Structure 1
Amino acid sequence: MSENCCDTHAAGDHPSDSVTTASAGTDRTVRVARPEDAQAIAQIQRAALQTHIETTLTAKKATEQVESIIAALPETEAFHAHWAQTLSEPAPDGCHTLVAIHGQSVGGFICAIPGEELPEIPQKRAAIPAGTEIVALEVNAHFQRSGHGSRLLNALAETCKTANLRIWVGAEDEARVRFLQSAGFTPSGLRRHLQMPGAVADEHLWWTSLS
């Protein structure tokens, strides 16, 4: 699990603790994550990571690596311990962790940190001002297509009060690309390469202006 300022977040100490966004019905809301959400977030995150690995390596025709990589992933308990600590400590400025509520369950979550200014790419785009970088946006597989992803994005946009949102997306993640396009995101022109056993994962930075 990555080390970033989302690793220290307490709902009770966050200025946006009272943020709640409702839609479609009173059982579909978004609020700031609390320590008691740690187990649900951990389960969603580990399942999403496993799906990402399977999708990436299958697209790279490296399926023989999938089983061994997934077997090496930390168990859900490790993710739970991480989130239990994260959500019990004060959040640094500009860091946000929100959860989507589906009935009585956590249906998804979004975690974001400050994003630095991105320089101009000559003849392609102007510089992108400092904003908010989404480091995790995941929805429980059982609650997908319920609008939680859109609600989480909208709630973060209302909460962060910055010029833009940005997120790294795997080149093979066509479903996420379609979702981001529908939400108004466009490619920034930046890419990065992440080494995985048996393959290199390519990611592109997508962004949208909030001004």
Structure 2
Amino acid sequence: MSLLTPAADVSVRPAVPGDEREVARIQLAAWRTAHADVLGEAVLDALDEAAFAAQWERAITAPPGPGFRVLVACAGPRVVGFASVAPVSAPEPTEPPAGVVLALEVDPAAQRAGHGSRLLAAVVDLLRADGADQVQTWVMDGDDARVRFLAGAGLGPDGLTRRLATGPGPDEEAHVVAEHRWYAAI
């Protein structure tokens, strides 16, 4: 009889060169699933996976400064999710810094398996190690699954909203989406 019990082979690690293709694929798959109604088919069809991969390669190999990081969630050797985090400058020099989750996506086929929670926990650990006392992120209108996930993790909206032009809409005018900032003390 074996004393070992079955265990999930899941992890979070820093992204390394070569992960950028999976990160881009996951991001676009997640967006097509979560944001189809808000962004629209024309915007989603215009997204270039190779361009996304090139941007992720730069983020992984040459981050723009200290505190900028990309993490990946793995199921065995397979990348199934990612998160990107950056520092936020404190409004006053005496205030501790905050961090912002720029992206946190899990492959739609691997969702609801704890990968998003592991990524968020790893991001919070990194931010705490950097001296941050708050985590922030932005949530697009209509992303009810992300709202439930963040609320379940203890984040909440702080009332700030921003509007982003995502490209031309069906009538060739700018298609604008609203995002709301969520945060939590850490």
So what's the TM-score if we normalise by structure 1?
A: 0.73
In the alignment, which residue of structure 2 is the partner of 1:206?
Answer: 182
Query: Which of 62, 77, 89 is matched with 1:116 structurally?
Result: 89
Check conservation: 2:164, 2:177, Cα contact below 8 A.
Answer: yes
Deviation at 1:79, TM superposition (A): 1.8
* Partner SS state of residue 74, structure 2: strand
CA distance in 2, matches of 1:77, 1:195: 22
Q: Is the 8 A contact 1:191 1:203 kept in 2?
A: yes
Q: Deviations over 1:62-104 (max 9, x none)?
A: xxxx332223221x22222222233223562111211111122
Partner of 1:168: 138
Q: Aligned residue for 1:36? A: 18
In 2, Cα distance between equivalents of 1:101 and 1:177: 23
The amino acid of 1:155's aligned partner reads A
The answer to whether the 8 A contact 1:96-1:160 is kept is no
Is the CA contact 1:32–1:97 (under 8 Å) kept in the aligned structure 2?
yes
Corresponding residue of 1:16: none
CA shift in 2, pair 1:118/1:139, >3 Å? farther
1:190 and 2:131 correspond:
no
Q: Aligned in 2, Cα 1:160/1:170: closer, same or farther, shift over 3 Å?
A: same
Q: 2:99 is matched with which residue: 112, 132, 142?
A: 132
Counterparts in 2 of 1:117 and 1:55: CA distance versus 1, 3 Å? farther
- For 1:150 and 1:110, locate their aligned partners in 2 and report how far apart those are by CA, in whole Å: 11
Identity value in percent = 39
Compared CA separation, residues 182 and 113, structure 1 to 2 (3 A):
same
Mapping for residues 60-99 of structure 1, pairs under 5 Å: 66-74=40-48, 76-89=49-62, 92-99=65-72
| Count of residues in correspondence between the two structures | 170
Residues 131-154 of structure 1 show CA distances to partners (whole Å, capped at 9, x for unaligned) of: 000110000111100001100011
- 1:49 is displaced (CA, Å) by 3.0
TM-score after normalising by structure 2: 0.82
Aligned to 1:12: none
Structure 1 unaligned runs (5+)? Answer: 1-23, 58-65, 120-127
Match of 1:101 among 74, 92, 100: 74
- AA at the equivalent of 1:70: L
Alpha-carbon separation, structure 1, partners of 2:86 and 2:124: 13
Partner of 1:49: 31
Offset at residue 118 of structure 1 (A):
6.1
Question: Please, which runs of 5 or more residues in structure 2 have no aligned partner?
Answer: 1-5, 170-174
Q: Work out whether residues 118 and 129 of structure 1, in 8 Å CA contact, stay in contact via their aligned partners in 2.
A: no
2-structure distance, mates of 1:37, 1:170:
26
CA contact (8 A) 1:33 1:98 kept: yes
Quote the Cα distance in structure 2 between the aligned partners of 1:170 and 1:118: 24
Matched with 1:153 is 120
Q: Deviations over 1:157-203 (max 9, x none)?
A: 11122111100001211110011000000111111112243343111
Asked whether the 8 Å contact 2:163–2:179 carries over to 1, the reply is: yes
